[in-house]
A = this chain, B = another copy of it.
Amino acid sequence: MDIIEKCDCTTIHEDTVKKVKNSMPDEDCLYNLAETFKILSDNTRIKILYALLNSDMCVCDISALLNMTQSAISHQLRVLKQARLVKYRREGKSVYYSLDDEHIKSIFDQALIHINEK
């Protein structure tokens, strides 16, 4: 009994568990997936990404667009930056943010297919 530990019930399908266990991606992969979705799980960040999908924007413009404080936007841009979803360039006093990943739209589209089917 090496498989059962925290489960307090009798495993019914030990063969199934073993088969599935072998098919599971490695921990890192699963962790990275969850982390990626965590970045996308916030309303403000989704809005920022959709905005940048249309046009590069400076922090001030994004704040105005979403009617949120510059600080809140700046904090979220940092999260998106660290996740390498956006990049930035400085132009004078302004900092312009833009998308750093061409697949964001594809991820959104796939999720929308799920949403629209329900």
Contacts and interface: CB of A to CB of B under 8 A. Distances in A.
A34 B25 contact: no
A47 interface: yes
Given A64-B11, A69-B6, A34 B42 contact: yes
A55 B117 contact: no
Contacts of A79: none
Interface of A: 3-13, 16-17, 19-21, 23-25, 29-38, 40-43, 45-47, 50-51, 54-55, 57-58, 60-61, 63-65, 67-70, 84, 94, 101, 103-104, 106-108, 110-115, 117-118
27 contacts: A4-B64, A5-B67, A6-B63, A7-B63, A7-B68, A8-B69, A9-B60, A12-B60, A13-B58, A16-B61, A17-B57, A19-B54, A20-B51, A20-B57, A21-B65, A23-B54, A29-B115, A30-B43, A30-B47, A33-B40, A36-B115, A37-B111, A38-B41, A103-B113, A103-B114, A107-B114, A110-B110
